[in-house]
Amino acid sequence: MTRQTGHPAGVAALKAIHTLVFAGELAAILWLVVSGLVGRRDRSVRLATAAVGAEALVFVANGGVCPITPMTERLGASNGSVSDIFLPGAIARTIPMWSTALIGLAVVLHARSYRAR
């Protein structure tokens, strides 16, 4: 939820950008799971791996906080990780947990597929 003070248009813009980035990253993660299930290894898998890896590095390097969060808060959004994305709070707060689990599953599936060949 955003406060009424600050820059509401800027907050909305950053939330929209962050939501789009999240959707792209989620699509990449889900593609890694699906491609691992079917044993696909091609350019699309490499691109998805690069996107997820880059996002993970940025997140970890920033102390487990998306860099968009403090930018959104400086513009007037409420403090907290759910203030910078257009998602229900329960989903936004748990993104690191379930996305990490999906990435782990993708790694296992791709390793299994690689060993099978």
Q: Which domain holds residue 12?
A: 8-116
Residue 6: its pLDDT value, please?
78
Classify residue 62 by its DSSP letter: T
pLDDT of residue 100: 96
The reported pLDDT for the residue numbered 117 is: 77
Does a structural domain hold residue 3? no
In-domain check, residue 58: yes
The answer to whether residue 95 sits within a structural domain is yes
Number of domains into which the chain is organized: 1
In the predicted model, residues of the chain with pLDDT beneath 70 are 1-5, 80-82
Angle subtended by helix axes 8-38 and 89-116, to nearest 10: 30
pLDDT of residue 80: 62
Cα 55 to Cα 20, 65, 115, distances in angstroms = 13, 11, 27
pLDDT of residue 1: 44
The structure's pTM equals 0.87
Residue 43's CB is within 10 A of a number of other CB atoms, namely: 7
Q: Is residue 40 part of a domain?
A: yes
pLDDT of residue 32: 98
The H or E element containing residue 33 is helix 8-38
Residue 110 makes CB contacts below 8 A (sequence gap 6+) with 32, 35, 36, 41, 45
Look at residue 87 and give its three-state secondary structure.
Answer: coil
Task: Return the structure tokens found at 10.
Answer: 């800027």
Q: Is residue 2 part of a domain?
A: no
Contacts for 42-50: CB closer than 8 Å, 24+ residues apart: 45/110
Assigned domain for 1 exists: no
